[in-house]
Amino acid sequence: MADSYDLIVIGSGPGGYVCAIRASQLGLKTALVEKRATFGGTCLNVGCIPSKALLHASQLYEEAGRDFEKLGIKVAPELDLGRMLQFKDDGVKGNVDGVAFLMKKNKIATFHGTGRILKAGQVEVTGEDGARQVVEARAIVIATGSDVANLPGVEINERDVVSSTGALSFEKAPERLLVVGAGVIGLELGSVWRRLGSSVTVVEYLDRILPGMDGDVAKSLQRIYTKQGFSFRLATKVVGVERKDGALEVTLEPAEGGEQERVTTDAVLVSIGRVPYTDGLGLDEVGVVRDGKGRILVNGQFETNVTGIYAIGDVIPGPMLAHKAEDEGVAVAEILAGQTGHVNPDLIPSVIYTAPEVASVGKTEEELKAAEIPYNIGKFPFLANGRAKVNKTTDGFVKVLAHKETDRILGVHIIGANASELIAEAVVIMEFGGSAEDLARTCHAHPTLSETVKEAALSVAKRALHM
């Protein structure tokens, strides 16, 4: 007799494990299947958490050598990379153990093994030892996440030709690191290794970094990263990597085609995006429809074309972000419990955890222009903020885009210290349909970096106070 549940979730990343918790809170008898040894998915094991641990540690290392003396603190920092990697691994362990605890606390049945859907209502779980069992449920939620996109002609070995996973564990900082793709991973992990001593060159196919981000923001960032020591090769593609004389020889070509060039490097990080992960799930046999990019298509209730089979997170269309997966996990659990779960796809913030940090929510200027929506811009630099001035974190600005007629805030883009935290108030005010004036008239504590957000909102009506 197969075990029987209200819900089986396949995949324990931020989408899957949060979905399981919410379902259990709502009284659904819930099971979670995970093929990795630990819970938490990409995000906790090889994504958000370890990358943020290394970004934090490497930033302190750089600041200790570069800035502490100006604060009257004399230190001569010395890198113990082994210890830093251990610090990262300890952080991962704390987080994945935390999820295991939450599964127990919420009485979620957990299965370690690979899940394959036999038909709506039935999942076969194959353990590492090959043992199989069938689990039954009223509903199945696919939350199997995403995997690294490969670059044709470049074989990742996770030693010197790495994906983000290998770049979390270099045993020593490569003298020269060539990053393919000026996206989030390239800039975050490129920053880590630059701070730890690598000379970093980023090769980007397009003629700009961070496609999709507000163009003005991306331009400023490129200037800031270049000042920090990054080299950028834009409108360029990597066509091959070969091993030569103990190093790697990378062949570059203009994106449009043309004369090739060879550069030598010690390591290559391939970070050209991620693709939905559905291997071995049995989707074709069950008839679950995917789009041309392999993403599972769902309706507004997160249900696929097969009744009773749902999908959330990186495996469906939308930004591949942990908080988007989490919110979808909550929404689908609520829908399955008869409530009205909902995620607003227009207000999912995104953050790049470099120094300075970058955060944005809502529309970019380019999107507003394309949609012919009239807008005003309010911009305020961190240079004019008292707290940023005294802390010497003056790089960056806040940019508020508000509707020209209604003043409703349509987009907020921040480059600056703590941007990852500052963006939260923008998301809240936008969820409530607030205007730039609402934000400008809200009292912000002094001295805080958050005053830059208020001043940028004031600046929409050209009445910033400290400029």
Tell me the closest approach of the beta carbon of residue 309 to ligand FAD, in angstroms. 13
* C-alpha–C-alpha distance, residues 22 and 75, integer Å: 47
Pick one of ligand FAD, ligand NAI, none as the site partner of residue 416 (Cβ within 5 to 8 A by kind). Answer: none
Q: For residues 415 and 220, is the Cβ–Cβ distance under 8 A?
A: yes
In order of 75, 279, 417, the CA distances from 69 in angstroms are 7, 52, 20
Return the H-helix or E-strand segment holding 285. helix 283-286
Interface residues for ligand FAD in 369-428 (CB under 6 A)? none
* C-alpha–C-alpha distance, residues 435 and 452, integer Å: 16
Pick one of ligand FAD, ligand NAI, none as the site partner of residue 115 (Cβ within 5 to 8 A by kind). Answer: ligand FAD
* C-alpha–C-alpha distance, residues 277 and 145, integer Å: 6
Asked if 446 is an active-site residue, the reply is yes
Environment class of residue 446 by beta-carbon count within 10 Å: exposed (0-12), middle (13-18) or buried (19+)? exposed
Tell me the closest approach of the beta carbon of residue 318 to ligand NAI, in angstroms. 10
Pick one of ligand NAI, ligand FAD, none as the site partner of residue 362 (Cβ within 5 to 8 A by kind). Answer: none
Q: How many CB atoms lie within 10 A of CB 369?
A: 12
For the beta sheet containing 236-244, the strands, ordered from the edge strand earlier in sequence to the opposite edge, are 236-244, 247-254, 261-265
Q: Does residue number 114 form part of the binding site for ligand FAD (CB under 6 A)?
A: yes
Closer to ligand NAI at the Cβ: 151 or 296? 151
Closest Cα to residue 6, out of 36, 32, 34?
32
Pick one of ligand FAD, ligand NAI, none as the site partner of residue 68 (Cβ within 5 to 8 A by kind). Answer: none
Q: For residues 95 and 49, is the Cβ–Cβ distance under 8 A?
A: yes
Encoded one letter per residue, x for contact with ligand FAD by CB under 6 A and - for no contact, window 324-363 reads: -x---------------------------x----------
Pick one of ligand FAD, ligand NAI, none as the site partner of residue 296 (Cβ within 5 to 8 A by kind). Answer: none
Closer to ligand FAD at the Cβ: 180 or 281? 281
Q: Which residue out of 112, 413, 446, 466 is catalytically annotated?
A: 446
* C-alpha–C-alpha distance, residues 378 and 365, integer Å: 12
Residue ranges that bind ligand NAI, judged by CB under 6 A: 151, 180-186, 188, 203-206, 211, 237-238, 271-274, 319-321, 350-353
Q: Which of 5, 9, 11, 388 binds ligand FAD (CB under 6 A)?
A: 11
Q: Where are the alpha helices (DSSP H) in 168-208?
A: 184-195
Closer to ligand FAD at the Cβ: 145 or 434? 145
Binding site for ligand FAD (CB under 6 A): 10-16, 33-36, 41-43, 47-48, 51-52, 114-115, 143-146, 164, 185, 277, 280-281, 313-314, 320-323, 325, 353
